[in-house]
Structure 1
Amino acid sequence: MVRTGDDELDFQPLVTREGWRAFADAPRPEAPTLLPEAAWLGLDPLERDAYDRARMTHHMRLLVVATPAIRHITTTGRKLLAYNAPKATGRRGLIVSGPSGTGKSTAVQQLGKKYHVDTMRQANPHSDRIPVAYIVVPSGATPKMLSIELASFLGLPIRPRASQHEITNAVCTVLRKVRCGMVIVDEIHNLDLSTRAGAEASDQLKYFYEQIRATFVYAGIDVAEHGLFSGLRGRQIAGRFLTIHTSAFGDNGAEERSDWKKIIATMEQALRLHRHAPGSLVRLAPYLQERSAGSIGALDQLIHQAANDAITDGTERITKRHLDEILLDTASQGEPWALPAPQGRPGRKAAS
C-alpha cells in the first residue's frame, strides 16, 4: 500500500497501476531531525506531541534493508533483464521461494521498483510506458481470474459477460503497446497444479509468458513443496525459470552472524530517540535472532515498536524490557500450531 495526499490516508494497492506508480516513484522519506537537548526539553505540549508523532510515524515506516537476499535477487534480476532484452524466444524468468517472513515480496517489489525507475528515467516524460505489471495470485485462481487481475492492474474496463479469451487478448495487446518489460506474480504458491483450475491457470501464465516480451518474476512460499514443479507443467516451469531460495537468518557461521548484526545496525541508525546508546541493539543480536526466529519482518516490528514504546513512556531508549513485552506473530514466537481436537468422547483422555 502507498499513501497519497497530505490530509488523509488514500491507500492505493500495488496491484493497481496508480498504486504501483506511486510506490515506484515515491522518494525515500526524509527522517525527522532529532532536536538538540535544550530545544527538545523546551517544547510545549502541543509541539512535543507533533514532534513525537513525526518520530513514531518515521519508525512505523518499513525500512527496506539491503539484505544479502535482496542484493542477490536484485543482481540476478538485472542480469536476467539484460539477457532477455534482445530475445523474442528463449527468455528466462525468476522464481523467489522461501518460508513466510523471509523478504520474498519485498525483494521482488524492490527489483521491480528499480527497473521502473531506470526505465522511466530514460523514457519521454509524456510516455505511456508501463515498465512493470504487478499482480497477486488469488486463492483458487482460474485462468480468467489471472487475466482479470492483469486487466485490473492496467485499469482496463471489463464487461460483465466478457470471455476469458476477450480479456486475455485485451491484456496482451495493452502490455505490448506500453512495452511492459517485467511482470511480477506474487503469492504464486496459490496455484495448485494438482487441481484442474490450478493447472489451467498455470497454462494461462505460460501463455502470457509466450505472448508478452517481458521478464516474468514469481514469488511464493516454498513453491516446490506446493507442487509448482510437479508433473509436465512443473517441469516446463523449472526449465524456464531460475530459482532463488530465501530463508530466515540463523546462527550458521560467522558470515551469517555478521550479516545479521549489519541489518540490526542499519535499523538502529535510523532510530530517532534521545537517550538510545548506539550499538546497544547490536549487542543484543543473539537475543533478537531468537525472538524474531531470524525473520526480517519480525525484527523490524521488534525494533520499531520498541522505539515507539520508548517515546510513549518517556525513556527515549530501547531496553530489553521493551523488547520482551512486544507480541510477535505465532511463527516467530515458536508457538505450536493449533492441532485438531483429539477424537473420542468428551472428557476422555486421548490415547498416547
Structure 2
Amino acid sequence: MPTTARMTQAQITSAVCTTYAQVGVRLVLIDEIHRLNPHTSTGAESADLLKDLTERIGATFVYAGIDVTRSKLFSGVRGAQLAGRASLIDFGAFPARLGKQEPFKELIALMEQALDLTQHQAGSLVRLASYLHQRTAGKIGSLARLIRQAALDAIMDGSERITKTSLEAIQLDHLAEEHDRPRTSHPTRKRPSRVTAQPSRP
C-alpha cells in the first residue's frame, strides 16, 4: 500500500480501507486489546480509528484480550462506542473433555509432533494429558511454556527426551502454580519462577 510522509490520518485510513476492500479482507484480528485505554490521547485516537475501520470495512473484527470487562476498554464515551459494536465471548480454560472429544489431548499431540528431540518417545506426552491439564489449569499458554522449557532442558542436558520427572522440575507461571499447589508442593522444582470481544459487522 503506497504511502507518503505528507499523508494525513484521514488519507491513510482511506488507503487502508480501499486496500482491504480490493483484496477482499473478511476477518481482522486484533490482539492485546486490553491494553487500549480510550481515556488517553493515543488510546482515544486508536479507539476512533477502530470505530472508523469497523464502519468502513466489510469484515468481522475480533478483539482478543484479558479481562476486558475489568479494563478501561469499554468505559467512557469512546469505550461505550466500542462496546456497542461488540459481542462479548468469554473463554475459560481449555477443556479436557468436550462430549466425546478430548481437545486438550489433541492439542498436546500437535505440540508433541513439533518436537525435534532425537530420544523422545512419541505419544509419551499424550499419555500424560491428565497430569498436564491439572498442572497447567488447562491454559494453552502455560502448556506451551511447560513443553518448550522441558524441550530446551532436554537439549541442554543431552537427554533429548521429555519425561514426567523433567516436567516436574519446571516451575510455571504464577497462575498455573497457584492452581496446581493444592495437589502437590513439587519439592523437586528448581527454577524460580480470551476474553474475546467480537464486534458485529457494520
Q: TM-score band (shorter)?
A: 0.5 to 0.7
The range that moved more, 290-299 or 230-239, is: 230-239
From the superposition, tell whether residues 264 and 211 of structure 1 become closer, same or farther in structure 2 (CA, over 3 Å): closer
C-alpha separation between the residues in 1 aligned to 2:148 and 2:43? 39
Report what 1:192 is aligned to: 37
Alignment of 1:100-249 (within 5 A): 154=1, 156-159=2-5, 161-249=6-94
Alignment of 1:249-260 (within 5 A): 249=94, 255=98, 258-260=102-104
**Cα-Cα RMSD:** 3.4
C-alpha separation between the residues in 2 aligned to 1:306 and 1:249? 21
The range that moved more, 183-192 or 196-205, is: 196-205
Q: Which amino acid aligns with 2:56?
A: Q
Report what 2:194 is aligned to: none
Residues 1:298 and 2:142 aligned together: yes
From the superposition, tell whether residues 169 and 328 of structure 1 become closer, same or farther in structure 2 (CA, over 3 Å): same
From the superposition, tell whether residues 158 and 218 of structure 1 become closer, same or farther in structure 2 (CA, over 3 Å): farther
Structure 2 unmatched ranges of 5 or more: 180-202
Instruction: Give the TM-score normalised by the residue count of structure 2.
Output: 0.65
Is 1:276–1:316's contact at 8 Å kept on the other side of the alignment? no
Is 2:93–2:139's contact at 8 Å kept on the other side of the alignment? yes
C-alpha separation between the residues in 1 aligned to 2:153 and 2:18? 51
Q: Which amino acid aligns with 2:73?
A: L
Is 1:182–1:214's contact at 8 Å kept on the other side of the alignment? yes
How many residue pairs get matched?
A: 177
From the superposition, tell whether residues 285 and 231 of structure 1 become closer, same or farther in structure 2 (CA, over 3 Å): same
Report what 2:189 is aligned to: none
**1:323 Cα shift?**
0.9
C-alpha separation between the residues in 1 aligned to 2:22 and 2:92? 38
Instruction: Give the TM-score normalised by the residue count of structure 1.
Output: 0.41
**Superimposed CA distance per residue, residues 33-53 of structure 1 (whole angstroms, 9 cap, x where no aligned partner):** xxxxxxxxxxxxxxxxxxxxx
**1:266 Cα shift?**
4.2
Looking at both structures, which has the greater relative contact order when contacts are Cα pairs under 8 Å and sequence separation is at least 6?
A: 2
C-alpha separation between the residues in 1 aligned to 2:23 and 2:121? 49
Which of the two has higher C-alpha Rg?
1
Is 2:120–2:161's contact at 8 Å kept on the other side of the alignment? yes
Residues 1:324 and 2:173 aligned together: no
